[in-house]
Amino acid sequence: SSSAQLKSFVSKTGSNVVIGVDGGTESIRACCFDAETGAVVGKSCASAYKTYHPQPGWAEQMPQDWWENLGEAVRGAVASISDSDSNICGICIDTTCCSVVALDANKEPLRPSLLWMDARSAAQTVEVMEKCKGDPALEVNSGGNGPLSAEWMTPKSLWIRQNEPEIWDKADTICEYQDYINYKMTGKMVASSCNAAARWHWDGEECINESTEDDPFPGRPTSLYEKLGIPELASKLPTICLPMGSLIGGLTEDAAEHLNLPVGLPVCQGGPDAFVGMIGLGCIYPGQLCLITGSSHLHCVVSSLPHRSAGIWGAYRGAPLPGINFAEGGQSSTGSIMFWARKVLGAEEVDYATLDSEAEKIPPGCEGLVALETFQGSRTPETDALARGALLGLSLSHTRAHIWRAFMEAVCYGTRGCVEGLEKAGHACEEIIIAGGATRSKLWLQMHADVTGKPVVVCENSEAPLLGSAILASYGVGVHGCISDAVKAMVRTKMRVEPSSELSPEYTNLYNSIYSKVGQCVKPISHAIARLRGGDSSYASVSEIAPIISPSLLACDFANMKAEVLRCVKAGAPRLHVDIFDSVALDSPWAFTFGPQMVKAIRDCSPDAILDLHMCVYKPARFVDAMKEAGADRFIFQFEAMADEAEVLELAKRITDAGMKCGISINPATSVSTLDSILASGLISVVNLLAVEPGFGGQKFNTVILVKLEHLVQLRQEKGYSFEIGVDGGVNEKTVPQVAKADVLVAGTYVFRHPVSLSQGVMDLSTAAKSSTAYF
Ligand SMILES: O=C(CO)[C@H](O)[C@H](O)COP(=O)(O)O
């Protein structure tokens, strides 16, 4: 059917209706809209499908169910239209994004779909980052720093290839929910450029071009597929890619019967539910940020330029629509915290409005109470799966209302952090268009405006994805000449909340002086707690901890100690490693470094860092009290300098009694099994594996420690020990991937002599470590 034939479904005289469909995680919903005005002209009808969890972390749905449930929802929505003269002229569907399907040559599903939330491909995300480091296609993941999400198309495809080779071989097509359902309606297999740009590593502007002999796969990341050994993926994925709002084709006879709609009815291209929701909120102009609030907050800012940088996902070129780009930020726990707080405050019988009205009487800053909203880790601007929530400044005068308000404020501060992160990356944000649960609280809406300093806009229609689909259909069939005209005609603003001129500066002050500092201060403690609990994070699909990089001051410029310590602080290094050598334990006059006075001086210029002392000295017990007084946090003694096990245990007890953590450092030649009974004592919090002979920096990394590292990791797991493992010496960009399983990496020469800066050195090591662990 030609474009003209398809558009002929639009009546010149009668009232035209479009069907918007939203294929969500739990169910699929359909609703009819006036194609001119966007007014709802019937009921929204939902039909629920099942999700199967065959293994922990896996989530599957049956593509056949999507089709059956689509029929039920659409038939219900159409039957609910009261005006019998209505002329249905088009349909458009959005779906969950990256619910991946493998189809045979007849386009029949070969296996259940790997639902978007399915985390089985976590190991493949690491493989992609490792094998494809530097590939331009990966820049959309935090400027190339990753991590990559197991939700996305590439790791899921790779999982199928590696784990179900027979399915892979039989698969004529790999696609997703969106493409499968459009195929079932039209008989045409086409991808949506929004899904492809945001989740497939495709270039959203290029991929909509027709393939040519010279460029058979325009905008596709063929070099990425080659590096992964799956070049065939380029031809298994749909070879035609259309932007949202394009006409795909008309309903086939079977589809028309199934949906109870006319044969040939135009089907227009949709895309991911969240990003079609952006269109339903009218968020299509650079400078607009769409804030979807629910149990979490998702921030999508429309940008005129596709800047990319660390801590940001995107910007995705040509998405959601050609000519624009968008970048994402996110907070993992927001509405879920308010739900949780109501429960733990014993206020389940009290409605949210009452809790809000109590909180409204409390001044900004909650009279000294501040909370952190990173209960489930931090997504952006800093990705930290081990971040946790906090409530600081509690006093006996604080009430339920203070706590309620503190959590509301914490979520808004977190939003400000994400917005600032996006702005720093070059994505200006002038107004926030908000949807979801937070719009139900007047107080919270105003607080979002006051804390971020941006106007917050609420739209009339709260079903943004459904309306977004209707807008795309309406444009696709030609009722509106362009998407921005359709948006102008079909999206209506309900209210615009301006930041208060009085409260906004007050919040800026609180944000800068308190909130923005709390996260960094609490971070080492949160990490330690997470580690004690096994490093678990409920939003991380596979959570291994990215090691902390601890600069070793042995490599610094001794004549400028203060400036060197401040360089480490500026680099955000949460720890400093101080080598205390007395030229006796290590028999060399040059292995003679610092005493307690220097430790105190270092402490004075880095009050927040954790100070680890590597004590390679004769009779270390003599130094315990002095080093504690000087400000040390960990006292890591050298095992080979001790006379026997009794001395070791006595010293360990003395260190812990003095209020420091006790660590033990071993030479490359010392085997881990000699520590068995010492570790069983429970007194040891840190095991430092020296990868060089102690005494001097700049030596070559000794790979003998790799087996010892494995051994220690296993031992810790088997026996349920909670000590940290450090690797010390010869750590650089090349050796890091081999020791990324450690908790702390001590690096001197590499970071202090880094050609760009110490910060860059720390960042390089951290990135190299993260990309070699299953971090996200
Ligand atoms: O403990 C050490 C030597 O005993 C140093 O901390 C270690 O060598 C780190 O320095 P570099 O990164 O230069 O190898």
Tens of pLDDT, residue by residue over 458-511, are 999 988 999 999 999 999 999 999 999 999 999 999 999 999 999 999 999 999
pLDDT band per the 50, 70, 90 thresholds, residue 338: very high
pLDDT band per the 50, 70, 90 thresholds, residue 5: low
Mean pLDDT to the nearest integer, 643-671: 95
CB 270 within 8 A of CB 92: yes
pLDDT for 117 equals: 84
Instruction: For residues 354 and 352, give the distance between their C-alpha atoms in angstroms, rounded to a whole number.
Output: 5
Mean pLDDT to the nearest integer, 512-517: 94
Judged by average pLDDT, the poorest of 193-197, 255-259, 288-292, 582-586 is: 582-586
Q: Is the ipTM of this complex over 0.90?
A: yes
pLDDT at 62 over 80: yes
pLDDT at 542 over 60: no
Mean pLDDT to the nearest integer, 185-210: 98
Cβ of residue 97 lying under 6 Å from some atom of ligand 1 = no
pLDDT for 53 equals: 83
Q: Which of 549, 550, 552, 696 to mutate to test ligand 1, by most ligand atoms within 8 A of the CB atom?
A: 552
pLDDT for 562 equals: 96
Closest CA to 155 of 92, 224, 60, 210: 224
pLDDT for 114 equals: 96
Mean pLDDT to the nearest integer, 333-357: 92
Instruction: For residues 514 and 739, give the distance between their C-alpha atoms in angstroms, rounded to a whole number.
Output: 36
Closest CA to 203 of 137, 141, 155: 137
Q: In what order do the strands lie in the sheet with 100-103?
A: 60-61, 113-114, 100-103, 173-176
Cβ of residue 736 lying under 6 Å from some atom of ligand 1 = no
Q: Helix, strand or coil for residue 299?
A: strand
**pLDDT tens figures, 405-425:** 999 999 999 999 999 999 999
Shortest-distance atom of ligand 1 to CA 690: 1
Instruction: For residues 333 and 371, give the distance between their C-alpha atoms in angstroms, rounded to a whole number.
Output: 13
Instruction: For residues 181 and 63, give the distance between their C-alpha atoms in angstroms, rounded to a whole number.
Output: 8
* DSSP 8-class letter at 136: G
pLDDT at 536 over 60: no
Characterise 399 by phi-psi region: left (phi > 0), alpha (psi -120 to 50), beta (else): beta
- Percent of the chain having pLDDT more than 70? 96
* HEC per residue, 634-653: EEEEEHHHCCCHHHHHHHHH
pLDDT band per the 50, 70, 90 thresholds, residue 6: low
pTM: 0.68
pLDDT for 535 equals: 46
Strand bridging mode 724-728 / 100-103: unpaired
- The helix/strand count (H/E) of the chain reads as 27, 29
Mean pLDDT to the nearest integer, 698-707: 93
Mean pLDDT to the nearest integer, 673-686: 94
pLDDT for 533 equals: 63
Residue identifier of the C-alpha nearest atom 9 of ligand 1: 729
Residue whose structure tokens are 């035209």: 16
CA 434 to ligand 1 center in whole angstroms: 51
What's the chain's length in residues?
Answer: 776
**pLDDT tens figures, 717-751:** 788 788 999 999 999 988 998 898 899 999 999 99
pLDDT at 661 over 80: yes
pLDDT at 625 over 90: yes
Averaged pLDDT score across all residues of the chain:
92
CA 550 to ligand 1 center in whole angstroms: 11
Measured between alpha carbons, how far apart are the two ends of the chain, in Å?
46
The yes-or-no answer on residue 743 being catalytic is no
Closest CA to 108 of 51, 184, 48: 184
Mean pLDDT to the nearest integer, 307-334: 92
CA 696 to ligand 1 center in whole angstroms: 6
Catalytic residue from among 579, 582, 612, 743: 579
CA 734 to ligand 1 center in whole angstroms: 16
- Percent of the chain having pLDDT more than 90? 77
pLDDT for 776 equals: 22
CB 665 within 8 A of CB 728: yes
- Residue 101's contacts (CB-CB under 8 Å, 6 or more residues apart) are 63, 109, 113, 173, 174, 175, 176, 177, 179, 180
Instruction: For residues 529 and 523, give the distance between their C-alpha atoms in angstroms, rounded to a whole number.
Output: 10
Cβ of residue 728 lying under 6 Å from some atom of ligand 1 = yes
pLDDT for 764 equals: 84
Mean pLDDT to the nearest integer, 27-53: 94
pLDDT at 180 over 60: yes
Instruction: For residues 730 and 746, give the distance between their C-alpha atoms in angstroms, rounded to a whole number.
Output: 9
pLDDT for 7 equals: 67
The yes-or-no answer on residue 579 being catalytic is yes
Residue whose structure tokens are 């800093």: 382
Q: Which of 549, 686, 728 to mutate to test ligand 1, by most ligand atoms within 8 A of the CB atom?
A: 728
pLDDT for 775 equals: 28
CA 606 to ligand 1 center in whole angstroms: 20
Pairwise pLDDT comparison (529 vs 735), residue with the higher score:
735
